[in-house]
Amino acid sequence: MELERLVSHYTADFRQKMPITPAEVDDAESIQTRAETLPEASKTLLDTLLLVAIPGEPVEGLAARIDTPAGEVLWQGGFLLPRTRPSRGSTIDPRFYAAACRLNPHLAPRRPFQALLATEGVPAFPPGDSNWDAVVVAAALETSPLTLNRDGAPRRDQLDRLLKGLGKDQTRWALALRVARATGRARARSGTLVGLPQSSARRISDPVALVDEHADAARLLLRVLGDDWISIEALQKLVSELEPSIGMILGLDEVADVFHRVGVVDAARSADGVTAVRKATPGPELPPGFLLTPDLDILVASGELDARDYGRLARLAPYLDGDRVHRHRLTRQGVAVDLALGNTEPVEFLRTLSRTGMPLSVEQSIHEWLHSAERLVLLTGVTVVEEPDGSFRVGGGMGRAIDYSQGPPASFHTSGDEAIVPYGRDALTVRAALAQVAEPGERGDGGWHFKIAPREVVGVESLLGRLRRFHVQSDLPSSLEVRVRSANGLGPARTLAAVIVNLPEQAVDALLRDPVAGPLLTRQLSPGQCVVDQVDMERLTARLGELGVSLA
């Protein structure tokens, strides 16, 4: 109905030239059918526009191609639409909006240039499965989290050590890390990036984000992607022959390779890389299991385990090498970490999934590691009673218990300019951390009292991370964090002249999508109420004037 009302506001003489009714402009089946019957020049122009723009979204940079006889046919057929909504009672000639137009949203199912791009293909396995690799990265991050900078990126030195520790192909593991973050298997917590190898993975909602450096090529590939095979070589040749704004797109080979590794596409491959792609189809289901050798090695291929089972396996047996088939090795530390996270019976877990059974040497090694990793609880100040059968039990008057399966009890809270560490929660860890931002504490009511007096320290982010873990609430009090940062070189706050602009209610969404005005209106106090830098007001006023919006 929205498109029908828009077309009904066209000038009478233009509507007389249209071979269709306004209702047919808003009819998806009609649009798809009529697109196949367009004159060749208009069909080529329509498919060219579909390469550079998403149906329903603005078309940028092709006004000269649209303002032609071929473009006039697209206007008359309702394939092109103005982005402007006429005011009540007024009419418009859509041809005046070649620089501010959009494609009919009902064109979304159309795949441009399919006849030119069609080819034959046989699906091949990717050189490596990045979703599988992401579990390996998550297991490595679970053991050794990465410190994050203020912009949310991992510290470069720590990141390099992580990637080099996984193998020589750092590009492969850098992609796996991006996939781990996109799927939730790697998450930011208190200034660090931690791994969750057994978590349920989210679907990758925006695969373009995985190839930021080739985003234009990724969007183009997704627009032409369908159920039939398309040739990468033919697509590269096509874009090189079209409008220069399309022909400059680079990186289709790299994008196709990444999309194949993450499961966005099926791909046919040669020795030179991906030759053809189509939308991903479900792969064959593999029977669950792996090969377990007497020397503690485990061989498992992509897809042979449920993701949660593979996450636990990657913890018990860290990754060693391999692409499509990963080789892992059971370790004492892996078994200890698995036990500490609450898992039990690693022998049964491995026995159930091993196609080669449980070698006796492996079972003996795991039992030895389990024995050395058992949790101990030390009780002090208790009475131990020997029973007639020779067994012992703990009598009354039990004193303080120290559970060595967890860290020592440690926490603090703040009151005014003091940090207070309660008795019983006063482990050396929390008192040592507070001593770096406060005067040494003295005994007082309820615990140790520290006078907050921050000073310059080495590793302020690491210190703040420790304080967050010890604080009784979910985060540090703002006053404490700001004072600590100020003592370590926090820059001054600066003021900037700005204007609050209240947009016309009917045009808020359209103005926010405008390529010129939109970026200047991103900061909103409420819907339609935007804060604009004073230095940007001249540009914004000029753009609003071009769009016919006055500024009071």
Q: What is the model's pTM?
A: 0.65
Instruction: Identify the CA nearest to 177 among candidates 200, 199, 153.
Output: 153
> What is the residue type of 10?
Y
CA distance 193 to 152: 9
CA distance 257 to 173: 14
**Helix, coil or strand: residue 107:** helix
Q: What is the pLDDT of residue 78?
A: 93
Sign of CA dihedral 62, 67, 71, 74: positive
* Number of other residues whose CB lies within 10 A of the CB of residue 153: 11
**Helix, coil or strand: residue 179:** helix
Q: Which residues pair with 268 in a beta bridge?
A: 276
Q: For 97, which DSSP code?
A: G
Using 70 as the pLDDT threshold, list the residues of the chain that sit under it.
Answer: 243-248, 373-382, 395-407, 474
Q: What is the pLDDT of residue 397?
A: 54
Render 361-412 in DSSP notation, one character per residue. Answer: HHHHHHHHHHHHT---EEE-S--EEE-TTS-EEE-S----EEETTSPPPB-B
Instruction: Identify the CA nearest to 452 among candidates 425, 490, 413, 491.
Output: 413
CA distance 144 to 158: 9
CA distance 264 to 262: 6
Label the pairing between strands 192-195 and 230-231. unpaired
Residue range 207-279 forms a domain whose CATH class is mainly alpha
Domain boundaries, the chain: 2-110, 130-195, 207-279, 291-372, 413-486, 498-546
Instruction: Give the angle 349-355-358 at the CA atoms, nearest 5°.
Output: 55
Q: What is the pLDDT of residue 479?
A: 86
> What is the residue type of 107?
L
Instruction: Identify the CA nearest to 378 among candidates 353, 398, 392.
Output: 398
Find tokens 């990637």 and name the residue: 163
Render 249-269 in DSSP notation, one character per residue. Answer: ---HHHHHHHHHHHTSEEEEE
Q: What is the pLDDT of residue 431?
A: 85
CA 374 remoteness from chain centre: 38
Q: Residue 158 class from Cβ within 10 Å (0-12 exposed, 13-18 middle, 19+ buried)?
A: middle
**Helix, coil or strand: residue 459:** coil
- Return the beta strands (E) in 196-318 as ranges: 230-231, 265-270, 273-279, 291-292, 297-301
Q: What is the pLDDT of residue 496?
A: 83
Alpha-carbon Rg for the chain in angstroms:
32
Q: CB of 305 within 8 A of CB of 313?
A: yes
